C-alpha cells in the first residue's frame, strides 16, 4: 500500500473534486483552490506523475490515473467517515465537522478506518449529504433536485447541501434545516424567488431563492 504525505493527499483529493469527465484540471485552477503558487503545483505534479498517480503534460493540464483516483477516494472516505462520526457521536454541528475532519483524514490506518465504518453501521452519506465511498471506492447515488425546483405541496426529503461554506451551514442550522428532514414547498414568490416551506410539520418559514438553490431533495 502506498503511503502519502498530508500535502500529497490534499493534492489528490482536490484534483478529484476539480476534474470532470471531459476536462483536465489546470495549474491555475488547482493553485487557486489550494492557495499556492503555480510553480509549487508544477513541482508536485512531477512528483505525482513519477508515482503514476496523475497523467500530466505541461500546458495541457492533468487528471488522476486509476491508481490516483483510488487513492483520492480512500482519502475522501476517511474524511467523510470522520465527519459522520463527529456529527453523530460527538454531536458537532455540521458547520464544525469539516475543519476537524481535514486533520483526521490523514490518519491512514486501514484497520482503524474499517473499524470506524463498522462502528458507524456503514453510513452511506456524510452530514452534508455527500456520499461516502465504501472500502472499494464505490458510492451510492440518488436522483436529486434543488428545493427551488420542487413542485408545490410535494413531500420530499432533504439529502444534500451544495454550498458547504461555514456561513451557509450556520444559517441552515439556525433555521433547523438539516439532512433527512421532510420538506414541503407551500408558496413560491416570483418577485425574489423566495419560498415558503414547512419542515417536519413545523410552522412555515420563508427562505431565499439563493438558499433554495443550494439545498437538494429527493422525493420521499
Specify the pLDDT at position 56. Answer: 86
Inter-residue contact 211 to 146 (CB < 8 Å): no
Per-residue model confidence as pLDDT tens digits over 47-88: 999 999 999 887 888 999 999 999 999 999 999 999 999 999
For residue 122, is it left (φ>0), alpha (ψ between -120 and 50) or beta? left
Specify the pLDDT at position 1. Answer: 54
Specify the pLDDT at position 57. Answer: 81
Q: Where in the chain is the domain with CATH 2.30.30.90?
A: 145-219
Give the closest residue to 132 by CA, choosing from 97, 183, 176: 97
Q: Residue 160: in which H helix or E strand, if any?
A: strand 156-161
First to last CA, the chain: 41
CATH T-level assignment (fold) for domain 1-141: Arc Repressor Mutant, subunit A (1.10.10)
- Mean pLDDT, consecutive 10-residue stretches, the chain (220 aa), reads 87 94 89 92 93 89 95 97 97 92 94 97 93 93 90 93 88 90 94 93 92 90
pTM of the predicted model as reported, rounded to 2 decimal places: 0.84
Q: Where in the chain is the domain with CATH 1.10.10.10?
A: 1-141
Instruction: Domain 145-219: give its CATH code.
Output: 2.30.30.90
Specify the pLDDT at position 219. Answer: 83
Specify the pLDDT at position 220. Answer: 65
Amino acid at each position: 500500500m502506498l503511503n502519502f504525505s498530508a500535502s500529497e493527499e490534499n493534492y489528490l483529493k482536490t484534483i478529484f473534486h476539480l476534474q470532470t469527465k471531459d476536462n483536465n484540471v489546470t495549474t491555475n485552477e488547482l493553485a487557486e483552490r489550494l492557495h499556492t503558487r503555480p510553480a509549487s503545483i508544477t513541482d508536485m505534479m512531477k512528483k505525482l506523475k513519477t508515482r503514476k498517480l496523475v497523467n500530466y503534460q505541461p500546458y495541457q493540464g492533468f487528471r488522476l490515473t486509476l491508481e490516483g483516483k483510488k487513492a483520492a477516494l480512500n482519502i475522501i472516505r476517511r474524511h467523510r467517515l470522520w465527519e459522520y462520526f463527529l456529527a453523530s457521536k460527538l454531536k458537532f454541528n455540521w458547520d464544525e465537522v469539516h475543519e476537524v475532519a481535514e486533520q483526521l483524514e490523514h490518519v491512514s490506518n486501514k484497520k482503524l478506518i474499517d473499524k470506524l465504518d463498522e462502528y458507524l453501521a456503514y453510513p452511506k452519506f456524510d452530514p452534508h449529504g455527500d456520499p461516502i465511498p465504501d472500502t472499494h471506492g464505490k458510492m451510492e447515488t440518488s436522483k436529486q433536485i434543488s428545493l427551488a425546483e420542487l413542485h408545490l405541496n410535494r413531500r420530499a426529503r432533504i439529502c444534500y447541501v451544495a454550498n458547504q461554506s461555514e456561513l451557509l451551514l450556520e444559517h441552515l442550522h439556525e433555521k433547523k434545516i438539516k439532512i433527512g428532514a421532510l420538506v414541503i414547498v407551500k408558496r413560491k414568490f416570483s418577485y425574489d424567488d423566495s419560498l415558503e416551506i414547512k419542515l417536519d410539520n413545523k410552522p412555515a418559514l420563508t427562505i431565499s431563492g439563493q438558499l433554495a438553490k443550494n439545498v437538494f431533495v429527493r422525493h420521499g
